[in-house]
Amino acid sequence: MPKAKRKVHGGADSSPYAKPTAKSTAAHSIFKMNHDLGQHVLKNPGIANAIVQKANLKQSDHVLEVGPGTGNLTVLILKAAKAVTAVEFDPRMAAELTKRVQGTPDAKRLKVMLGDVIKTELPHFDVCISNTPYQISSPLVFKLLALPNPPRCSILMFQREFALRLFAKPGDKLYSRLSVNVQMWAKVSHVMKVGRNNFSPPPQVESNVVRIEPRHPRPQLSFEEFDGLLRIAFVRKNRTLRSSFLGTTAIVGMLERNYRLWCSQNDVPVDDTPLTEVNDVDAMAVDGEDEEEWAGFSDADEDDELPDFFKQERDARKQNGAGRKKRGRVTELVREKIRKVLEDETQLVEKRARLCDEGDFLRLLYAFNQEGIHFSS
């Protein structure tokens, strides 16, 4: 039996959201929602209006809407802003939206871009509004934070647990790399709770709308450097920083490569003569870690996945065998620099990432950078 098709959107009362004109009736065509794309259309006009109002739009604003769907938010944004760029992955949705505004005065002020917003080069915009498809919550926040010229404000709807991660503090269960990053670069505030029955079809969980505003002045820091350090610290947020930074050859190897690059860019000579012969596996055990524990990364959050460099290093080691190896002087030097930063300079060596605050991470980054150790290449 064929599966029942759902109405694309079902508003009820107020115009223009729910009392469709002849034009927008065409947009109410019927097709099956794609759950893989997080297609839960907002059907409560009151919530849609509140979201747009909370953005405090100016008539001169250019708004980016992520995932416009059939346009329930878009038509309201168009009433309050100068222009809207709407990035939509699903061509069926993009076609519905285009039809909905076609022939209206708003059509000229709407640009629909088809594609994955995460991979799309975005034009400049003042405000971002999104009933966010839950699969891209994390990459979308990271993309917005990393923009050199971030929007004045972003009003974003997320699944509740994801929203709570944005506010989490050191020691909270939901504290993660995302929490530290977002709080470093922005001010996050809660806008409203939205029950699951306000969507069609209803998602499994409740949602929250949050406001993200960039900090002024913007911290004088490289986003990639700070995030690179957090990636290492949060792969295993319950382990000590000693364990995270010194416990695996993969991390030390990556930091050594970055150190070599920094040396070459700063005319610092490196001594490549082999120093000691050590058993690589034993060396890891001495440092108190087993590579397999990394592979489990049981305490990692979804956005703190095993970094690519670790996987590459692990595969290379499997191929080459992890037998007796000569550890170079540079490796020893880098290990000593890491030890010095953790033990002497910051005294954070026994602290765990889940308990470190923004100030701890900043101190770590500063001390590593002073030693010529960097986290972005």
Residue from 16, 45, 68, 151 binding ligand SAM (CB under 6 A):
68
Residue from 52, 61, 84, 88 binding ligand SAM (CB under 6 A):
88
| Residue nearest to ligand SAM as judged by C-beta position | 67
The response to whether 40 counts as a known ligand-binding position is: yes
- Of 25, 17, 108, the closest CA to residue 71 belongs to 17
Taking the complex as a whole, the smallest distance from the CB of residue 6 to ligand SAM amounts, in Å, to: 13
Applying CB under 6 A, does 155 fall inside the site for ligand SAM? no
- Measured from the CB atom, the residue of 139 and 328 that comes closer to ligand SAM is 139
Residue bearing tokens 């990053």: 181
- Measured from the CB atom, the residue of 88 and 371 that comes closer to ligand SAM is 88
Residue bearing tokens 């909905």: 100
Is 333 exposed, middle or buried, given 0-12, 13-18 or 19+ CB atoms closer than 10 A? middle
- Measured from the CB atom, the residue of 87 and 356 that comes closer to ligand SAM is 87
The response to whether 88 counts as a known ligand-binding position is: yes
The response to whether 42 counts as a known ligand-binding position is: yes
Q: 128 has which bridge partners?
A: 64, 154
Neighbours of 265 (CB within 10 A): 10
State the Cα–Cα distance between residues 367 and 363, nearest whole angstrom.
6
Applying CB under 6 A, does 84 fall inside the site for ligand SAM? no
Residue from 41, 57, 255, 300 binding ligand SAM (CB under 6 A):
41
Q: Residues 165, 171, 293, CA angle at the centre, nearest 5°?
A: 90
Applying CB under 6 A, does 116 fall inside the site for ligand SAM? yes
Applying CB under 6 A, does 235 fall inside the site for ligand SAM? no
Taking the complex as a whole, the smallest distance from the CB of residue 88 to ligand SAM amounts, in Å, to: 5
In Å, what is the CA distance from 77 to each residue of 39, 65, 73, 219, 273? 19, 9, 6, 31, 64
Instruction: Note whether 85 and 125 are within 8 A (CB).
Output: yes
How many residues bind ligand SAM (CB under 6 A)? The answer is: 23
State the Cα–Cα distance between residues 139 and 303, nearest whole angstrom.
8
Applying CB under 6 A, does 117 fall inside the site for ligand SAM? yes
What contacts 23, CB < 8 A, 6 or more positions away? 99, 100, 101, 102, 103, 104
Take residue 183 and report the two structure tokens written for it. Answer: 């709080």
Applying CB under 6 A, does 89 fall inside the site for ligand SAM? yes
The response to whether 345 counts as a known ligand-binding position is: no
Taking the complex as a whole, the smallest distance from the CB of residue 13 to ligand SAM amounts, in Å, to: 16
- Measured from the CB atom, the residue of 118 and 349 that comes closer to ligand SAM is 118
Taking the complex as a whole, the smallest distance from the CB of residue 36 to ligand SAM amounts, in Å, to: 8
Applying CB under 6 A, does 72 fall inside the site for ligand SAM? yes
Residue from 11, 16, 45, 69 binding ligand SAM (CB under 6 A):
69
Q: What is the CA radius of gyration of the chain?
A: 25
State the Cα–Cα distance between residues 106 and 78, nearest whole angstrom.
6
Residue from 118, 263, 275, 278 binding ligand SAM (CB under 6 A):
118
Binding residues: 40, 42, 67, 88, 116, 131
List contacts with ligand SAM (CB under 6 A): 37-42, 66-69, 72-73, 87-90, 93, 116-118, 131, 133, 136
